Amino acid sequence: MAGKLDGNGHALLRDVPDGPAKVFFGEDTRPFTPQPVQAAKALEQDDILKELHAGGHDGITDENLFSLFNKFSGRPDVT
């Protein structure tokens, strides 16, 4: 099946056969407008630990937070 999306990016499919199907609509012709990214709020280490602990990560401590950040941030240059 093939078709085009309306101005809102929607399509109505009719008479679709039972079973698996592939549907192609082509490229989105609407102009892309990137949305601004909000700046991250400044957090102190205690705030970060509170958020991690609230999320169930109780094993993270003051002592290992820095090494975890270095390992998983992709920023080996941060010391």
Find, among 49, 71, 47, the residue nearest to 58 by Cα.
49
pLDDT at residue 25, as a whole number: 78
Q: Are 53 and 61 in contact (CB under 8 A)?
A: no
The distance in angstroms from the start CA to the end CA of the chain is: 55
pLDDT at residue 53, as a whole number: 93
pLDDT at residue 16, as a whole number: 82
What does pLDDT average to in each consecutive run of 10 residues of the chain (79 residues)? 75 85 78 88 87 91 84 71
pLDDT at residue 54, as a whole number: 94
Report yes or no on whether pTM surpasses 0.75.
no
